[in-house]
Amino acid sequence: MLTFYHAPQSRSFSILWLLEELGEPYSMELIDIRGEDGAPESYRAIQAHKKVPALAHDGVIVTERAAISLYLADAFPRAGLAPAIGDPSRAAYLTALVYADAVLDPVIAAKALGVDYPPRNVSFGSLDDAVAHLESRLAQGHAAGGRFTAADTQLGTAVHYGMNIVGVLPRRPVFEAYMTRMLARPALQRTLAKEEALAKGA
């Protein structure tokens, strides 16, 4: 049994999209992360920083988006969302998944918050370097090459958020074309509809 810990209009959107792509049954636990003290203290037993997303699978808890993505794609291989171990394209897939969490998310957040920093002094570098890298990577068609993988749920969410929600990613033709392909996916359309319904009920 899969239990997904989620807050509408948060970073856990990307895992909701991934779950819709998997097509496996799951239940959802909504976590109120926007109270004065954040999520309830009891939630710390699931996620140490009281953040979303988190996932429980038959009693095993996984946190952090890259880790959840890797776990789900490997646990449900029939969905075809990850190159197999030994496949040369798995390196690009792993890189894209971790890049979304470790580099792209912090540079977008820093820019959106107006944080000025010397790129050489931080592990995630500059927004300009991230934009150049994304242009090169997504020109291949997808996050990890020529086919859709779980990495696209993570990079796709970051590009959508950075470009369409907070407006810190430039509207480059490569990004626009990539998001057009992503938005044509039925699973992403279902995810957006679910998010809208959840946000209205919040």
Query: What is the 3-class SS of the chain, one letter each residue?
Result: CEEEEECCCCCCHHHHHHHHHHCCCEEEEECCCCCCCCCCHHHHHCCCCCCCCEEEECCEEEECHHHHHHHHHHHCHHHCCCCCCCCCCHHHHHHHHHHHHHHHHHHHHHHHHCCCCCHHHCCCCCHHHHHHHHHHHHCCCECCECCCCHHHHHHHHHHHHHHHHCCCCCCCHHHHHHHHHHHCCHHHHHHHHHHHHHHHHC
* Position 194 in a domain: no
In a domain, 201, yes or no: no
Q: Do both 52 and 96 map to the same domain?
A: no
pLDDT digits (tens, 9 = 90+) for 77-131: 999 999 999 999 999 999 999 999 999 999 999 999 999 999 999 999 999 999 9
Domain total in the chain: 2
pTM greater than the 0.85 cutoff:
yes
**Residue 38 is part of which domain span?**
2-80
The verdict on 31 and 52 lying in the same domain is: yes
In a shared domain, residues 99 and 155: yes
